């Protein structure tokens, strides 16, 4: 099963992403994988490829990790979401797909720490800080990167990081995410409180 997945599913995934949604958003610097030096042994400082070992073992292309992009292209993606699924005058996401991002499909579980739309967490302090709400969609990455899209204030902010370089002995970077939400809130002149350390 795994060899057939490598031969059929992942090449289609790579090609599909390059020809549909991301092409419509006119990305300039998006890649599914980053070409880098050969890595004959691990662990070592990893440059030019995904840090996630599972994605690495699948040659950097997997359904759960290994999407590389830049601030400019990620900002275009976030702006498309703030534009209700349109970008550059073109509809990228259907109304239903867009609505599903901000629909809490876990509401019936009555757990405020587990609010999720399609592809995004909602109302999460650990990533959005004091800007958390059901109108703030957040997505975090394994290496510490996060995006927050706040419909209530028509803004988004990005945190690109690599908390696993040069080692994994770093603690969580959630305080940085929370503080970023605070500073964005302050720049919007909102009455927000700095996160507790």
* Helical (H) or strand (E) element with 17: helix 10-19
Q: And the tokens for 47?
A: 């440059």
Q: And the tokens for 42?
A: 């691990």
What pLDDT shows up at residue 19? 55
* Sheet architecture: strand order including 121-122: 121-122, 136-140, 146-150, 155-159
Q: How many CB atoms lie within 10 A of CB 84?
A: 12
What pLDDT shows up at residue 30? 53
- Cα end-to-end distance, the chain, whole Å: 47
Contacts of 68 (CB under 8 A, 6+ apart): 30, 31, 32, 33, 34, 50
Q: And the tokens for 75?
A: 């900002």
What pLDDT shows up at residue 49? 62
Low-confidence residues of the chain: pLDDT under 70: 1-56, 60-68
What pLDDT shows up at residue 194? 95
What pLDDT shows up at residue 145? 87
What pLDDT shows up at residue 92? 93
């Amino acid at each position: 099963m795994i060899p057939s997945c490598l031969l059929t599913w992942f090449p289609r995934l790579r090609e599909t992403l390059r020809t549909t949604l991301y092409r419509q958003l006119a990305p300039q610097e998006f890649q599914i994988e980053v070409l880098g030096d050969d890595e004959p042994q691990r662990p070592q400082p990893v440059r030019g490829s995904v840090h996630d070992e599972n994605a690495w073992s699948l040659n950097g292309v997997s359904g759960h990790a290994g999407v590389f992009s830049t601030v400019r292209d990620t900002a275009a993606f976030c702006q498309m979401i703030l534009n209700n699924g349109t970008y550059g005058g073109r509809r990228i996401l259907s109304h239903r797909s867009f609505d599903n991002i901000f629909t809490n499909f876990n509401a019936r579980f009555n757990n405020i720490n587990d609010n999720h739309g399609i592809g995004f967490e909602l109302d999460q302090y650990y990533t959005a800080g004091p800007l958390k709400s059901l109108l703030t969609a957040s997505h975090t990455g394994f290496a510490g990167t996060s995006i927050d899209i706040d419909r209530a204030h028509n803004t988004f902010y990005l945190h690109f990081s690599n908390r696993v370089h040069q080692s994994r002995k770093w603690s969580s970077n959630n305080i940085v995410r929370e503080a970023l939400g605070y500073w964005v809130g302050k720049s919007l002149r909102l009455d927000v409180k700095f996160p507790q350390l």
